[in-house]
């Protein structure tokens, strides 16, 4: 499930059924690879938020929860401001173990930071430090609504 959904987001296939917003970042994606596999976090401009896991499964529709909506909005806003520093790509490999990557998806292109080590995003001087923090906050909120209380 996760790989197909991830691909449909990054190739913009999923956007073909949504009204066009030229030049606007339609969604922000964070891929994070750890020992257990890769978590792909997707936050769309309309508030839809999902988590896909390379091991299978995930959470779709987490954006309907208020706590996720707020975290997703902060993540998208910061990512949109930083997207000018991303570069355009046509392929979307998962980041290597112990790293993450961000993607900004518009109607006409997909751009990325490329793989970033955890040391890089952990450095407060990195332009991606706060974005990684916001991504982790959003991931935590998605996990909270996905797990039974």
Spatial distance between the Cα atoms of 48 and 76, rounded to a whole number of angstroms: 11
So what's the pLDDT on residue 42? 93
Residues paired with 113 in a beta bridge: none
- What number is the average pLDDT over the span 44-73? 81
Asked if residue 105 belongs to a domain, the reply is: yes
Q: Which two tokens stand for residue 140?
A: 């935590």
CB 137 within 8 A of CB 71: yes
Reported as type and span, the H/E element at residue 130 is helix 129-146
Residues paired with 39 in a beta bridge: 32, 53
| Dihedral of alpha carbons 61, 54, 94, 35, sign | positive
User: How many domains in the chain?
Assistant: 1
Asked if residue 127 belongs to a domain, the reply is: yes
Asked if residue 148 belongs to a domain, the reply is: no
What is the pLDDT of the chain when averaged over all its residues?
89
So what's the pLDDT on residue 61? 67
Give the tens place of pLDDT for each residue, 76-118: 999 999 999 999 999 999 999 999 999 999 999 999 999 999 9
Asked if residue 149 belongs to a domain, the reply is: no
Q: Band of the pLDDT at 15, cuts 50, 70, 90?
A: confident
Reported as type and span, the H/E element at residue 50 is strand 49-53
Query: Which structural domain, as residue segments, surrounds residue 86?
Result: 2-143
Comparing 54 with 146, which gets the higher pLDDT? Answer: 54
Spatial distance between the Cα atoms of 26 and 2, rounded to a whole number of angstroms: 19
Listed range (6-10, 49-53, 59-63, 100-104) with the worst mean pLDDT: 59-63
Q: Band of the pLDDT at 20, cuts 50, 70, 90?
A: confident
What is residue 4's DSSP assignment? Answer: H
Asked if residue 32 belongs to a domain, the reply is: yes
So what's the pLDDT on residue 67? 82
pLDDT at 1 over 50: no
- What number is the average pLDDT over the span 136-149? 82
């Amino acid at each position: 499930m996760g790989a197909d959904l991830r691909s449909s987001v990054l190739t913009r296939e999923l956007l073909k059924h949504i009204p066009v917003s030229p030049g606007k970042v339609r969604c922000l994606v964070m891929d994070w690879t750890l020992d257990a596999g890769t978590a792909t976090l997707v936050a769309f401009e309309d508030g839809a938020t999902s988590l896909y896991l390379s091991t299978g499964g995930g959470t779709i529709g987490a954006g309907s929860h208020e706590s996720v909506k707020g975290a997703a909005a902060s993540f998208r806003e910061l990512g949109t401001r930083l997207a000018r520093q991303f570069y355009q790509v046509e392929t979307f490999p998962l980041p290597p173990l112990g790293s993450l990557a961000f993607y900004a998806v518009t109607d006409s292109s997909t751009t990325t930071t490329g793989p970033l080590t955890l040391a890089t995003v952990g450095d407060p001087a990195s332009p991606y430090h706060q974005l990684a923090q916001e991504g982790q906050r959003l991931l935590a909120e998605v996990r909270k609504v996905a797990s039974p209380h």
